[in-house]
């Protein structure tokens, strides 16, 4: 299964250690692949350099000089995460063309649209008992880096592997009345997701998550769930359908 680990749910080392232990515990039953983001870590690196960025439709506008900082921040985080998860190997999407992409829209700079996943290499690693931890920087046709939203990257990996996906974030799932956790939807159909986006109750960073979930389901992923990476035992519960919001076709 694919676990998308979002930057907002990895702010403290304690949280990361708890999630890392849960991922390692899954290895007895499942073959986990971790795809991670790291928005807050990118922000910190940009700020330290006196740089800033803007988002359009949830995507960071990434001119080439910002791309260098994004890649550096995500590479450093990738090493930290892969060392925290027992039996993991950290890789970026650029390694062995694990993630191939093309420029999505020149107006967004080095932001990519995924065109291919090296699923063979991921399966080889899984077959050898290794847990791949994958950072969301892809290789473009020119061999240079492209910045991929981590939800999109994770959805593409789940689709390519035909595996289920759990998006770990900083809320318990998709709320019908954000920010009221009591309003968490246990399940949402495609039609409900589209209605939520159109009506505005699914907004901001939740939009790429639900869209990536639907894309993964379209490509054959057996399930796609959004759940909290801040709650103990969440992965096992989400697999059983007892935590988070399951997106259904």
Ligand X SMILES: CC(=O)N[C@@H](CCC(=O)OP(=O)(O)O)C(=O)O
Please, which residues have CB within 8 angstroms of residue 186's CB and are 6 or more apart in sequence? 173, 245, 246
Verify whether residue 151 is a known catalytic residue.
yes
Choices 43-51, 75-83, 100-108, 204-212; region in contact with ligand ADP by CB under 6 A: 204-212
When asked if residue 6 is in the footprint of ligand X (CB under 6 A), the reply is yes
Determine if residue 147 is labeled as part of a ligand binding site.
yes
Q: How far apart, in whole angstroms, are the C-alpha atoms of residue 214 and residue 156?
A: 11
Distance CA 4, CA 133 (A): 10
Residue 244 binding: pick among ligand ADP, ligand X, none (C-beta 5-8 Å cut-off by kind): none
- Residue 11 among the catalytic residues: no
Residue 27 in marked binding region: no
- In residues, how long is the chain? 249
Q: Looking at 112, 135, 173, 209, which residue is catalytic?
A: 209
Q: Which of 132/205 has CB closer to ligand X?
A: 205
Here's the x/- map for ligand X, 56-95, by CB under 6 A: it reads as ---xx---------x-------------------------
Distance CA(132)–CA(243), nearest Å, equals: 24
From the list ligand ADP, ligand X, none, which binds 203 (C-beta under 5 to 8 Å, kind-based)? Answer: ligand ADP
How does strand 145-147 pair with strand 224-228? unpaired
- Told to check if 155 binds ligand X by CB under 6 A, we report no
Structure tokens at 83: 């060392």
Stretch that binds ligand X, among 33-41, 187-195, 213-221, 227-235 (CB under 6 A): 33-41
The structure tokens listed for 157 are 């990996």
| Strand locations in the chain (E) | 2-5, 33-36, 55-56, 59-60, 88-92, 99-103, 112-117, 131-135, 137-139, 145-147, 165-169, 187-189, 224-228, 245-248
- Residues near ligand ADP (CB under 6 A): 6-9, 37, 39, 169-171, 174-175, 178, 201-206
- Residues near ligand X (CB under 6 A): 6-8, 37-39, 42, 59-60, 70, 111, 136, 147, 149-150, 205
């Amino acid at each position: 299964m694919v676990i998308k680990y979002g930057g907002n749910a990895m702010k403290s080392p304690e949280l990361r250690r708890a999630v890392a232990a849960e991922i390692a515990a899954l290895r007895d039953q499942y073959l986990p692949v971790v795809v991670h983001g790291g928005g807050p870590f990118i922000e910190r690196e940009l700020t330290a350099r006196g740089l800033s960025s803007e988002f359009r439709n949830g995507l960071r506008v990434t001119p080439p000089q910002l791309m260098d900082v994004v890649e550096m921040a995500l590479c450093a985080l990738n090493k930290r995460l892969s060392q925290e998860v027992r039996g993991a190997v950290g890789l970026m999407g650029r390694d062995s063309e694990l993630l191939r992409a093309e420029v999505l829209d020149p107006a967004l700079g080095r932001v990519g649209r995924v065109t291919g996943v090296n699923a063979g290499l991921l399966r080889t690693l899984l077959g050898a008992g290794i847990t791949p931890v994958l950072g969301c920087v892809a290789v473009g046709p020119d061999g240079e880096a492209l910045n991929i939203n981590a939800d999109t990257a994770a959805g593409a990996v789940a689709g390519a592997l035909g595996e289920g996906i759990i998006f770990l974030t900083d809320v318990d799932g998709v709320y019908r009345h954000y920010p009221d956790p009591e309003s968490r939807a246990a399940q949402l159909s495609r039609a409900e997701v589209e209605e939520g986006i159109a009506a505005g109750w699914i907004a901001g960073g939740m939009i790429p998550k639900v869209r990536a979930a639907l894309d993964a389901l379209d490509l054959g992923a057996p399930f796609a769930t959004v759940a909290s990476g801040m709650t103990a035992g969440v992965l096992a519960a989400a697999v059983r359908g007892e935590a988070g919001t399951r997106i259904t076709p």
